[in-house]
Amino acid sequence: MGRLLRRRRWPGRWILVLGDAASLAVITAFGFAFHQEVEAVGSSRFLATYLPLLAAWLVTAGGLGALDPDRADDPRQQWRPAVAVLLATPIAAVLRSAWLGTPPVTVFIVVMAGVSLVSLGVWRTAHLLARRSREAQHRVRGFKLLESPR
């Protein structure tokens, strides 16, 4: 039974991971665009920022349970992605610095944390609302089917 429940949660987990990855990619691209470096998007400099951020996010979010679909559906558990971002961004900045051979910049860490919090917060809230709306529709449809004698 436990394996069956875990298996059912995997599609939800992949949606969270892919949505988080897309959210982080978008803010990384916007960061380069903000600094008038659009040509860097898709380059090794983009990857030097995005891949450490994604890796640090996946490790911290996974460790804190922020990638668990059941917790993502519970508004009381939304602290998990927030704490994961706050832990992931300094780790990502250190990894990025090692990749580029430069020292980590505190302002970069603070800005990356703030923008990541907002971006992931918007995506996760939209995901939560969409899931709740879908569940409400299923409940209504199920109720109507029970009412209907057909």
Number of CB atoms found within 10 A of residue 112's CB: 24
| Distance (Å, whole) CA 18 – CA 57 | 12
Is pLDDT of 134 > 80? no
| Distance (Å, whole) CA 142 – CA 100 | 56
Residue 126 CA neighbour count, 13 Å, CB half:
11
pTM of the model: 0.79
Of the two residues 135 and 47, the one the predictor is more confident about is: 47
Residues 32-89 pLDDT 10s: 888 777 666 667 888 999 999 999 999 999 999 999 988 888 889 989 999 999 999 9
User: How does 33-51 read in b/e, with b if 16+ C-beta sit within 10 Å?
Assistant: eeeeeeebbeeebbebbbb
Number of CB atoms found within 10 A of residue 127's CB: 18
CB 60 within 8 Å of CB 91: yes
